[in-house]
């Protein structure tokens, strides 16, 4: 049983986390949604107080780096004024995922945009829920682009028109709720989780003392439980390129190289004045587009590829040397070298287990595929064995002291016995609990 004897160190806006390049503030974007006006204001905050860049996370949130302690009140005030922090007390618990086409997907069974908004309001209206971990994750799967995952604490899965099944950590609770009652159902389950975790300090449903299955059974209370896996078949690739909406308009998905929006990127997005969604693959989707060809051209010109065969697709990295004192290498430079040195439409060959790779020479055994190939090999490059920000399904490239990388295949929870780098104040660890990388 996992016992947490501390609160998680996941940053927010009010509670920023230290790093080598300054403080990190994470701005929650329920459903990954942000409009052009708010993105412009966020970019202004990043330029005035931080590095100027805006980083995307695997939970479809954004981060500002390089902040100073003295500037945090001004940063928080600016983020709140932009409408991106409706509750200071609930800053870190607004972790809600949804499809980037929520409310627009032609295959959706539920209008997920309105459900996400309702859940966000309900969370912020419940004072007790400030006790949730900053990593407690809620998914709203509308039946279109798959979102639900056994790694999520609560998932609403659309099973019929305007009807959700309630899952916890991949287990069906047997509860079926209309979309209008979905937010209330989420709050009830969150309260039940806090009561069940007792003194264990669990951050996630899967860490509960009696286990996630027992928690789901208790929530069922006599209801029939299918208990089928939450993970649905994944789409062949992330939402990149021109995408069809349920109305006459389109959406356009773009890759953000290494998940970092520069001021140039942001200026292009703001100029397009489109409704925007951040994706869990650290990309962006512009929604309600009337001229997709012109939108693609503008994004490509700004360095945001809209090609599903882009070499940047599926390559991510942690902050690396200079930003984190644990890092053993400039992983972002090495990841970029890897991306730009690989063919755009090569045949997938898979990953050798625990292979040692020299990023300066490349590795002929590791070839990434066109993203339409389900055998594609995503890579996440990290400076130490804490493996921060690892996406699901990615081969982990762990920096070694000798300048090479250890390749840990996707699905392998074991990390190589390598030095984790010098101690860092960014993530204190519990002697009784492993570091949480979800």
DSSP 110-158: S-HHHHHHHHHHHHHT-GGGGGS-TT--EEEE-SSS----TTSSEEEEE
Q: Which distant-in-sequence residues (6+ apart) come within 8 Å of 29 by Cβ? A: 60, 61, 62, 84, 278
Q: Which sign, positive or negative, has the C-alpha torsion 139, 140, 146, 148?
A: positive
Task: Write out the two tokens for 176.
Answer: 């079926």
Question: Using CA atoms, how far apart are residues 64 and 26, in angstroms rounded to an integer?
Answer: 6
Reduced to 3 states (helix: H, G, I; strand: E, B; else coil), residue 30 is helix
Count, in order, helices (H) and strands (E) of the chain. 8, 20
Residue with tokens 């006459």: 248
Judge contact between 82 and 308, C-beta under 8 A: no
pLDDT tens-digit profile, the chain (438 residues): 556 767 788 999 999 999 989 999 999 999 999 999 999 999 999 999 999 999 999 999 999 999 999 999 999 999 999 999 999 999 999 999 999 999 999 999 999 999 999 999 999 999 999 999 999 999 999 999 999 999 999 999 999 999 999 999 999 999 999 999 999 999 999 999 999 998 899 999 999 999 999 999 999 986 766 655 566 554 546 899 999 999 989 999 999 999 999 999 999 999 999 899 999 999 999 999 999 999 999 999 999 999 999 999 999 999 999 888 889 999 999 999 999 886 543 323 233 334 455 555 443 222 222 233 444 578 999 999 888 888 878 899 999 999 899 999 887 766 666 555 554 333 333 323 333 344
List b or e across 183-221, with b for residues whose CB sees 16 or more CB atoms inside 10 angstroms: bebbbbbbebbeebbeebbbbbbbbbeeebbebbbebbe
Tokens linked to 45: 């905050």
- Say if CB 96 and CB 115 are below 8 A apart: no
- In whole angstroms, give the CA distance from residue 426 to residue 18: 5
Helix (H) / strand (E) element for 55: namely strand 54-56
Q: What are phi and psi of 319, to 5 degrees?
A: -70, -35
How many C-beta atoms lie closer than 10 Å to residue 435's C-beta? 15
């Amino acid at each position: 049983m996992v016992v947490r004897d501390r609160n998680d160190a996941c940053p927010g806006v009010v509670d920023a986390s230290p790093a080598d390049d300054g403080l990190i503030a994470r701005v929650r974007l329920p459903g990954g949604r942000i409009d052009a006006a708010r993105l412009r204001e966020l970019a202004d905050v990043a330029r005035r107080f931080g590095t100027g860049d805006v980083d995307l996370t695997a939970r479809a949130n954004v981060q500002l780096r390089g902040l100073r302690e003295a500037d945090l009140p001004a940063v928080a005030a600016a983020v709140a004024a932009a409408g991106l922090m409706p509750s200071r007390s609930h800053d870190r618990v607004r972790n809600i995922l949804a499809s980037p086409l929520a409310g627009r997907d032609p295959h959706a069974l539920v209008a997920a945009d309105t459900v996400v908004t309702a859940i966000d309001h309900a969370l912020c209206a419940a004072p007790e829920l400030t006790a949730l971990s900053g990593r407690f994750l809620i998914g709203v799967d509308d039946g279109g682009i798959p979102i639900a995952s056994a790694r999520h604490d609560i998932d609403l899965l659309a099973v019929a028109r305007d009807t959700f099944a309630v899952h916890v950590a991949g287990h069906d609770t047997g509860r079926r709720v209309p979309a209008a009652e979905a937010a209330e159902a989420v709050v009830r389950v969150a309260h039940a989780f806090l009561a069940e975790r007792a003194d264990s300090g669990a951050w996630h449903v899967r860490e509960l003392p009696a286990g996630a299955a027992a928690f789901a059974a208790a929530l069922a209370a006599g209801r029939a439980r299918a208990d089928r896996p939450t993970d649905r078949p994944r789409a062949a690739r992330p939402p990149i390129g021109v995408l069809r909406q349920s109305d006459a308009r389109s959406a356009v998905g773009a890759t953000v190289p290494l998940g970092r929006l520069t001021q140039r990127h942001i200026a292009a997005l703001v100029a397009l004045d489109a409704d925007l969604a951040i994706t869990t693959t650290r990309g962006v989707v512009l929604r309600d587009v009337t001229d997709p060809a012109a939108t693609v051209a503008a994004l490509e010109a700004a360095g945001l590829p809209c090609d599903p065969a882009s070499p940047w697709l599926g390559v991510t990295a942690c902050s690396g040397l200079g930003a984190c004192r644990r890092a053993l290498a400039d992983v972002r430079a090495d990841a970029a070298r890897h991306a730009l040195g690989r063919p755009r439409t090569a045949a997938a060959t898979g990953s050798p287990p625990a292979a040692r790779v020299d990023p300066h020479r490349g590795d002929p055994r590791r070839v990434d595929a066109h993203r339409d190939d389900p055998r594609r090999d995503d890579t996440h490059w990290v400076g130490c064995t804490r493996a921060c920000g690892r996406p699901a399904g990615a081969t982990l490239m762990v920096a070694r002291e000798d300048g090479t990388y250890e390749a840990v295949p996707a699905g392998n929870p074991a990390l190589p016995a390598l030095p984790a780098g010098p101690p860092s104040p960014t993530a204190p660890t519990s002697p009784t609990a492993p570091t949480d990388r979800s």
